Amino acid sequence: MDLGLRGKVVLVTAASKGLGYAVAKEMLAEGAHVAISSRSEESIKKAAEELSQGGKHDVFYVPADLSKPGDVDVLMDRVLHHFGQVDILICNTGGPKTSDFVDTGFEDWKSGMDMMLFPVLKMTERVIPLMKENNWGRIIFMTSTWVKQPRKSGVISTMARSAVSGLSKHLSNELAKHNILVNQVLPGPTWTDRSKEITSRLAQQRGVPVEVIKEEIAEEIPLGRYGTAQEIANAVTFLASEKASFITGASLQVDGGQIKATV
């Protein structure tokens, strides 16, 4: 199936591994030109080399710590200078510390917003003008099922990603007349390094093996297992494609049925 992504310029952040890496790989398979970023220069360079497959694919990388506004500016300057435009923006960010409200201080809140909201605002602001000129664009925010079904110790992530959810819905209305489609993808439990970190921390807090925590979470999912990064990437690639040309303002759950709400 031709998804109409050949030749499109895609920027994927937090892409040295996990969900971002899988999305970048899938976009390249569809013939897109891809820019990737993460905070570690060593990691993002290695990812770019792997993704390019010896020069077969067009991959441009920029190391950037999204929690630093100056780094975000450099990222956008370099990508726009290299490609001249960004047709598809995949806003993917790392996650904050896990904690309950009573154990969360002001600096924790600020760090969460600096990591998950403010860079998203800045990147989105930079790509919109050229998307308007081209009368075509896709903006996809990677949030979480936690914005619909919060989990224990996830208050920072739920709060910050819920702000991004509101932004997504607003922008979908504001930009629709320019043929710029804006959606969010809500990954459920996906077995990435981030999930491993969270399950390890919970296991340590409770004094049980990691497998116990993993099995408890899997039991909440009707499909009975964690998702894979590739499964998330498939959904993101579809939303970015011409096959999703009448979808905007949507919240696509890719969670194996974990969220129990009817809508």
221 shares its domain with 125 = no
> In this structure, how many other beta carbons lie within 10 angstroms of the beta carbon of residue 179?
15
**Same domain membership, residue 79 and residue 166:** yes
- Taking only the tens place, the pLDDT of each residue in 145-173 is 999 998 888 899 999 999 999 999 999 99
The reply to whether 144 falls in a domain is: yes
Identify the domain containing residue 246 by its residue range: 9-188+228-253
User: 129 with 179, same domain?
Assistant: yes
Q: Are residues 152 and 247 in the same domain?
A: yes
Per the structure, the count of domains in the chain is 2
- Looking at the domain assignment, is residue 169 inside a domain? yes
Both 219 and 134 in a single domain?
A: no
pTM of the model: 0.94
Give the rounded percent of residues in the chain with a pLDDT score beyond 90. Answer: 83
Could you tell me which residues come within 8 angstroms of residue 11 by beta carbon, excluding any fewer than 6 positions away? 34, 35, 36, 37, 79, 86, 88, 89, 90, 123, 127
**pLDDT tens figures, 126-148:** 999 999 999 999 999 999 999 99
Q: Are residues 95 and 201 in the same domain?
A: no
Distance of alpha carbon 186 from alpha carbon 169, whole angstroms: 14
Question: Residue 160 sits in a domain of what CATH number?
Answer: 3.40.50.720
